[in-house]
Structures are given as C-alpha cells and as structure tokens.
Structure 1
C-alpha cells in the first residue's frame, strides 16, 4: 500500500502575537527585522483586531500584543473575585437575621434556624439564628501574577459571530478553525466534494476544559455560590468541544473525529493522529487544532501554588527592581523563575500529497512524523524524564533518513518547549546538546516562541508550528528577546541561542523539530519539512505534466488566499459558523450492502473495504 506525505495546506489561529494566517503573528515576533511596508501590514492587522484607530502611534499598537500586564477587560488582577469565611457571633440576646425566597430555601432546614413566613403564600421567609453562624463573604483580592500572553487588547472573539453562551475557548476555536480553513484558498465545499465523507478528520481538544463561568467552571461553582447550573455549562465544558464545534459548526464534517490530550504536548498528540491517518491513506484531509482560555484567577492560583508561574515578586527579585518587567516575564533559557500563562487557539489543515496536487493547494510545509513517548518510572509526576530524549532522537533520525545528514546538520532548527522555568532550561538544553552530538550538529539554531506569546498549554505547539511556517517563508529565526544572555547552567556548546533574530536564509531553514515536554511525562517531538523540501519530493513522485497542471491551479489558489489575507488585515475575519443550517435529512440517507450515501455529499462511503486485513 502506498504511503502519502502529509502536507500543510492551511493554518490559522489567534494568540498574543495576533492572527496566525498570512504569517501575521510570526511577523509580529520578528517585527524589528521587517521592512517598512511589512511593518505597516502587521500594524494594520493588529489595529483591526484591537479596534485601535488608524492614527494611533506605532508603539501603542505594538504594546497591545505579546506577553504583557493583564488588561482589566480580560481579568482585573487587582480585583479578582475571592471570598473569606467568617463566623458571625450570635446569642439569645443578639441573634442574626436574614431573608430568603422560597426558591433559596434548602430542603433540609438546619436545626439552629427559626423560620417565619413573611407572606401568606410563603414566597419569602425570615431566618433567625441565635448561635454562631458561619458565612462566606465575597471580596476582591489581588493576584500574585499579573503577566500573561493574552489575545491582543480589545480583541473579543465572541463579537464576530453569534456566540451566546459559548465559553471563551470555544469562541476562539470557531475563529481559529475558520482562519485556517479560509487560509487554504480553496472553497471547503470543493474540498469536501473531492473526497468521501469519511476521508476527512478533525482532531482537536483543550487540556484544561472550558473553565470560565459559561463552562464547567460555572457549573462546579454554582452550588457553592448559591446559583443554578445552566443546561449548557456541562456539555460545553468537555475537552472534546473544540473538535465538536469544528465538526458541527465550521465544517459540517461526517468524518473521523478525536480529542487527544497530553498536557502541554496536546497539539502534537492530535497532530500525530492526523499524520498517521494521512500517511496510511486512511484520510485525505485532516484539520488539527487546540484552543485554551486559561487566564482565570483559579487557574492562575493553581499553577502559582505549584511554584510553576513567574510571580510578580519573583520577577522583582530576579531583576532587583521595585516593578516587575511584565513584557519580559517569559525568559526561556535565560535567568528565569517560571512560565507565563497564555491563551491561544491554533489550527492547521493537512492534505495527502495526491489530493493537494489535484486541487492545486498551496504547500506551507509537510509533517512526515510525530513521536510521543513517556518517561518511564518517575520520582515526581511533574519532574522531567527520559522520554524526551527518545522523541527528539527519533524525530531527528527520521529527517536524516529522509533527506540526509547534510540538511539535518546545516539546515535544521529547533522550536524548543522553552517553558521559562529554571528546571526546563537545564534539562531541555541538555537533551538538545546530547542529540546534536549524536548527529554531528555543531551549532543548532534554537528558538522559543513562549518568550513572545507565553505558555498556552494545549495549543503551545500550535504556536510553535505557526511560527515555524513563517521561518520557512522568510528564513528569519525569532530571537529570544526577553533575555539579556543565556543562563550559565544551560548545555549550550552545540546550540545557537540568541536574543536577536537570526537570518538563516532559505537554505538554512529546511527542517524544524517542534519539541514539547508536558506535565506528567507527555513528551512529543514533530519533524516538519519546508516547502522547498516538499518541492523536491513532488519532483521525484509526479510527472512533468502533473506538476504543470498543479502549478496552474496553485496560481489561482494563491490569488484567493491573498484576497482573504487582505480582508482579514482590515478586520473581515470571515468566521464560519453554520448553526442550524444545512442539516442532514436522515430520511434521505441511502444504505445498501456496498455503500452509504448522504444528502449534500457528492461521494458515498464504501463498505467493501477490508481495511487491509486478509479474509478469515
């Protein structure tokens, strides 16, 4: 059976750097290295997202992006919701009284309560308590952490479509998946008509679930806060909802679906499913993504309690200053003190090479393999372990086997997990150094996008991949600009880590290794090839006539892409949200022993495939 090369034909999303499609978020990272016209394009895109006026100065626009002090519109860190437990002293002479409606009355009345109806229909009651009464008082309190990789200030994903009752993470999913689909430049209906309904796959998830008040966060707090759960909080809170929303409202897909989670490696876990499907010919199209909206007081408190976050006090101590430098909160491979939490939604569209050729799809890169390994026995579930040595070595070994030693040694780079913790900078740099030594790499370029956008948990490697496609496009590796120098304790003899952008050139950026070290031993590394390498592959696998036909179609696709990018730069994001439309009439589904046909889908699903198994 023939194997196929999974090609990246579209990508999109939103993080602290802006919109991913058209390389805008990546261009924000290398802003200092851009020419004036490209800078103006980045500024225009950010203005469209933030709602800033055209005459606003450059620095104001730039300050509304990347890691920075949290904006009160997202979370007021000085007035975060909290509560204190108190005991109200009462006795027979000084009792405590309060009133409740009939709906508020508990089914089991405490023995210490004296209850009086205040009206004939018993719609309201007076409660008298003559003993000490425990009570919870709502207060506002300051958070230990005020820096985050939030979406550009003023950008609210829910404003772009009918998002009533949708948690923020799912709002981001709708816009990010739409951005990725629109970036392909080929109408989705045409793609869908070109394949069988089950030749499409969607793999997407969130790690932390939807934890805001419209999701499971609100449901879990409802009883304690004296509220009622809504009918949507539980269902919309599932970790699978980013995939479910993409299927049901963005694509209308009948194909395979899944939602894999693996802590910070979650995006790569989902990508692995898609790559395996496409390589083996089980699917022809795969949409892969993650969405996470964890900038909430409770989540920040949780990670701070683990000493995982860069708190304001830690940043002050690190710099010896009275005020923390929020812009430089995330400092991978430098003197650091913890990671910076972030929100992001990132999606990519992959096709098998034969379908991409048939449709004339633009090729941004290829993913020949994704490797996942655990750590073995561990002394602590949060401690790094041995598995990442295996994933990195296998990813580099695959590249060497496919494109040769020379390209791996001289034209590859690493997208580090780079979480900005002291432990990570030592352990990850040691892995890179050991692998570089094994493969004869003398000066391996390394970057870490978390220095720009923070740590978005599940979508973190989606942030890496979007940046990688930009590096393939321009040849500029973003420097880790939040550090003055690399820390003295990293293993850097064979690594090239800079706080300035590195111009690798088109020949120096042909292979990327995306690395993720997830909590609990969830290690993953992806091998990603540049468009130039994919072109070599196509030249060797297709005839001159097929290539000429592909190029003619690709030119028209590129025009459609540029039209979308130009519109998106002015705020026309074209969200795809099909709620209650184009529903399948189940009465029109046709089934026989050979196939199943669905109304609205050009091709049928065959039932004669033995899935590669021999008869019994």
Structure 2
C-alpha cells in the first residue's frame, strides 16, 4: 500500500481523537512501560490462584496483579472505601494524566469527562461482603449488621466512574459502560464521541475489572470457558493453538487521556495515536454462543474502517480478541477473512490475552493500550504458547516472538457475552490524512 495517502477520518471530520496519555495496570511489571515490556516479551503471567483457596474449582489458574494500593499513593480511607477495581482505575487514570502532561489542577472541571467500562463491577467486595453477612454462606437469612457501610457503593457500578471523577476533579459527563467483555472498547469509544461532539475537551476513558473471586471462577467453571490446565499454569492459555482449552481469568485496568488533536498539539502534548473509527454490533443469537461465520464481527470491522476512511489494505496489525476458546478463535478468524478478504492472510494478528489473561470488561481498554503502543514503537506483540497449528485458524498469529514492523493503522476487536461485537481503528498521528 501507499503510506500517508489515505482519505480523512471518520464521519467526515477529517481527524481522529488523540490519545495523549496512557495508564495501565496488568499482571507483570507495573505501568504502561512495564505492561509493554511484558506483552512484547511474550512471557505469560499465569499462576495458581493466590487470592483465595481454589482447590474446589475446575480452573485454578489466573493472571493476578501483585498490587499494594499503598505503593500507588492510595490513602487508608480510599483503600477502605474503594473496591479493588476502583483502586485500579484511580491508579491508571493518574498515570494517564501524568503521561499526558496534565495535572488535575490543569483541567477545566466542567469540560472534563470520564467514561469507565466494567463487566462485573465491584465483584471482589461484593463477594467478600456476602461471605461476611452470611457467615461464609451458612446462614439462609443474612445479618446486615455485619455489612460494610460502603456496601451500597459496591452494588452500583457507577461508583467506579465517580471515584475517577472525584480524584481528577472532573465535573463534565461521567458514566459507566457495561457491555460484558467489550466494555473497555465501548467505554473508550464513548469517550471518543464526547470529544467529537464537543461535550468535553478532555476525557479520561478506559476500563477496569478485578474479577478474580470465588463467584466469578465458579461461573466460568459452570460453562467450561476457562482453562482446566492447572498443572502447567504458564501454558494454560493458548489462543489459536489446536490444543487450546479456554481462557485464563485476569484482572487489570487501562485509562487514557483523550482530546482533540489540534488542542493537544497547541498545548505541546505528545499524541501517541489517534482513534479513527469505531463500530459495535450485536448478533441477537445466543447468550454465550457465536455463529461460526463471524458475520456480525465482520460487519463491525467494515463499519469501523468505513468511519475511519481506511481501506482494508491499510490495516497493518490486528489486535485480536483471542481468548483461547475454540469457538471464539474460529469465529474471529472467519470474521477477519470476511471483512478484509485476501489482506487477512497478509496482516499480522496476535492476542495479548496469551500473556496477561482475560480481564473481562477491562481487557478491551488494555488492548487499546497495546494497539497504541504498537503504533508508537512499530512493534507487534506476539501470541504466546502458540505451538500447534489449527487448520481452521490459518492466519499469521505472530507466534512466540514480537515482530518489528512499521505500524500506521491497527484494528482491535472485542467479543462479549450477549452477542456484542466491537471494532476500533487506531492510527499513527499525522498519517492517513486527507
């Protein structure tokens, strides 16, 4: 393809929305830099669950974060009040703001928005509080006298966005987006729209989830979606591999500073990448099942590329959903072929879930971070643990080792229970201009 000669970006705007700050918290080394080193190194972060005794569960491995909130500047009161997922969001939002060259005092409160995605909200705290009020599940009638005074906050996912808004001093549009495993992508897209429509000048957008708890593990055990390969945790998640057996539950958060590119450059900010297009579809088919032809994801991909005004040949890298379940890997492989045609066989595809696990609603935002950093560094992260070729998964999945490659445009996709299919297009700043 010819670089830098594409048409303008989505909806006739002639521009994207700038990402000027990234904050990430995932298993492995902390921060956006540590995250990038972890995923490009292709070193899975899986281990036997330590958050609770997993002995009675089918799947006993997870991608856990070694997280001490005190090390990240959270006060004792914040630690008492906030669920683990909220703590993650605060830490990553602060990192994103600092990376963008902004401090809370620099923001116009009324022109600053927040969009946070989460699939399961304050699961860790809810699970803990139920265990307390029910005396470990032994009481048929619970005793509310033992409940935390913060329990109402744990029931309301909006508390996650509220905490980020309070911490940053944001008084503009604030919301939570909860669309299952596409929550992160969809929340970033909502932030993009707030900038595009002029409702905010700065948006803190991203997602957070801390689902590693008995109730979540039990739910995925019931449908056999998670890997039962407990004897070899490091290899438990093998996206696109013929021997794959399910995903590994993870946890984490990624937050971004989004703003209009011209305004960002005017204040001297560094634009890491631009969000050029987004689309979401629902298959209206099955709660957990996917049609094998990938039609709905393909439609979302086509719509996102159309909004970005980028031809299929302009896609340099696909950051896949790549959960490691048989139906998902085949579904999105079919979707890439359907949407991109022959180019699907030429473009590298990889799954970072093979390294940091599947953090449910958070992972879509974490994958946006990987996509933006791939553009910044011109490096495609690998798919770990891919050793045995599946004839139905026959694309270039970048097995084992990161690949240096000029990356101007990234397509990142997500697939969620309920039939949600989302696709986002990110581009290098200053390229693919009209």
Rounded Cα–Cα distance in structure 2 between residues aligned with 1:291 and 1:502: 26
Rounded Cα–Cα distance in structure 1 between residues aligned with 2:12 and 2:327: 44
Q: CA deviation at 1:514?
A: 0.9
Rounded Cα–Cα distance in structure 1 between residues aligned with 2:41 and 2:322: 21
Superposition pairs of residues 206-605 of structure 1, within 5 angstroms: 206-212=118-124, 214-215=125-126, 218-219=129-130, 222-223=133-134, 224=137, 225=139, 227=143, 228-248=146-166, 250-311=167-228, 315=229, 324-334=231-241, 335-376=243-284, 378=285, 380-385=286-291, 386-399=295-308, 401-402=309-310, 405=311, 408-409=312-313, 412-437=316-341, 440-490=343-393, 492=394, 495-506=395-406, 509-531=407-429, 533=431, 537=433
Rounded Cα–Cα distance in structure 2 between residues aligned with 1:308 and 1:175: 30
> Which residue of 2 is the match for residue 77 of structure 1?
54
| Partner secondary structure for residue 187 of structure 2 | helix
Q: CA deviation at 1:7?
A: 0.1
Rounded Cα–Cα distance in structure 2 between residues aligned with 1:387 and 1:157: 40
> Which residue of 2 is the match for residue 27 of structure 1?
37
Cα offsets for 1:30-77 (capped at 9, x unmatched): 237xxxxxxxxxxxxxxxxxxxxxxxxxxxxx8xx722222x3x2332
Rounded Cα–Cα distance in structure 2 between residues aligned with 1:501 and 1:294: 29
| Partner secondary structure for residue 444 of structure 1 | coil
What's the TM-score once normalised by structure 1's chain length? 0.63
Rounded Cα–Cα distance in structure 2 between residues aligned with 1:450 and 1:202: 26
CA RMSD of aligned residues (A): 2.3
Q: CA deviation at 1:503?
A: 2.6
How has the CA–CA distance of structure 1 residues 165 and 275 changed in structure 2, closer, same or farther, with 3 Å as cutoff? Answer: closer
Rounded Cα–Cα distance in structure 2 between residues aligned with 1:309 and 1:14: 22
Q: CA deviation at 1:302?
A: 0.9
Rounded Cα–Cα distance in structure 2 between residues aligned with 1:158 and 1:295: 20
What's the TM-score once normalised by structure 2's chain length? 0.87
Structure 2, gaps ≥5 residues long: 1-10
| Partner secondary structure for residue 300 of structure 1 | helix
Rounded Cα–Cα distance in structure 1 between residues aligned with 2:400 and 2:41: 11
Rounded Cα–Cα distance in structure 2 between residues aligned with 1:472 and 1:20: 18
Rounded Cα–Cα distance in structure 2 between residues aligned with 1:262 and 1:157: 27
Structure 1, gaps ≥5 residues long: 33-61, 79-141, 316-322, 541-616
**Larger RCO, structure (CA 8 Å, separation 6 or more):** 2
Rounded Cα–Cα distance in structure 2 between residues aligned with 1:487 and 1:436: 20
Q: CA deviation at 1:277?
A: 1.9
> Which residue of 1 is the match for residue 82 of structure 2?
166
Q: CA deviation at 1:424?
A: 0.9
Contact 2:186–2:422 (CA under 8 A) maintained in structure 1: yes
Rounded Cα–Cα distance in structure 2 between residues aligned with 1:230 and 1:410: 53
Contact 2:47–2:233 (CA under 8 A) maintained in structure 1: yes
| Partner secondary structure for residue 186 of structure 1 | coil
Q: Please say which structure displays the higher CA radius of gyration.
A: 1
Rounded Cα–Cα distance in structure 1 between residues aligned with 2:41 and 2:22: 20
Q: CA deviation at 1:215?
A: 3.6
